Amino acid sequence: MTAVTRPIKINQEQADEAHAPVASVEKMASHYSEVLSGLGEDVGREGLVDTPTRAVKALKYLTRGYAMDLDEIVNNALFSSDNDEMVLLKDVELYSLCEHHVLPVIGKAHVAYLPNGRVIGLSKIARIVDMFAARLQIQENMTRQIATTLMDVTQARGVAVVVEARHMCMTMRGIEKQHSSMTTSVMLGAFREDPRTREEFLDLIRR
């Protein structure tokens, strides 16, 4: 297969997120200490001395998607191909943070596309999922961002994305429904326009 080189663009919302100013770990840790103190904790006790710094570093890792660059992710891994059949990547694990409570969202994505003269390296699909999962999110937006980005990058005839996830903001607090999960889907191109193509995708992810 021959690599296809073309510029990749992201929408303005993604660009704004990627270039938002970032505070230092030290400054963020100072604020985190205030939060712990506000909870009534003694931030000077042995078990908490380094907790603010560790927590901030963990939070920065869990939101690393803001700093991920789409051009670097794809890295020209687009290849000419005469395959026009569905390409499906199932059960892509994802971890995100609810933007309302900053609590974990844990789930998986199923991503499919219909090639239109080119295919993308398989791992790049998983990295695109990570790019939008690893940030403060709501599942509806994340699903659409994954789908529209893959569509833009591959210029496919269609893209389908289904995300299934459990939200700790529902299981650990509030309504406390321990076994609830949320499913979101976005169908673009042929997956939206052709019921048979859409049903083929849905049948494959049920297996």
The CATH number linked to 146 is 3.30.1130.10
Instruction: Name the band, by pLDDT with cuts 50, 70 and 90, for residue 23.
Output: confident
Residue 155 catalytic? no
Residue 101 catalytic? yes
Residue 200 catalytic? no
What's this model's pTM, rounded to 2 decimal places? 0.89
Domain range holding 170? 81-206
Residue 147 lies in a domain: yes
Find the catalytic residue in 110, 137, 145, 167: 167
Find the catalytic residue in 17, 41, 99, 164: 99
Find the catalytic residue in 19, 26, 100, 193: 100
Residue 92 lies in a domain: yes
Compute, in degrees rounded to 10, the torsion defined by CA atoms 136, 139, 143, 146: 10
Indicate whether 8 pLDDT > 90. Answer: no
pLDDT tens, 90-138?
999 999 999 999 999 999 999 999 999 999 999 999 999 999 999 999 9
Query: Cβ distance 76 to 3 under 8 Å?
Result: yes
Residue 30 lies in a domain: no
Per the structure, the count of domains in the chain is 1
Residue 3 is predicted with a pLDDT of: 58
Q: Which DSSP category does 3 fall into?
A: B
Residue 151 lies in a domain: yes
pLDDT tens, 172-195?
999 989 899 999 999 999 999 999
Phi-psi sector, 76: left (phi>0), alpha (psi -120 to 50), beta: left
**What is the chain's length?**
207
Residue 1 is predicted with a pLDDT of: 53
Find the catalytic residue in 17, 41, 101, 164: 101
SS3 at position 51 = helix
Sheet bearing 136-137, strands edge to edge: 136-137, 87-98, 104-114, 158-167, 182-189
Residue 167 catalytic? yes
Indicate whether 7 pLDDT > 80. Answer: no
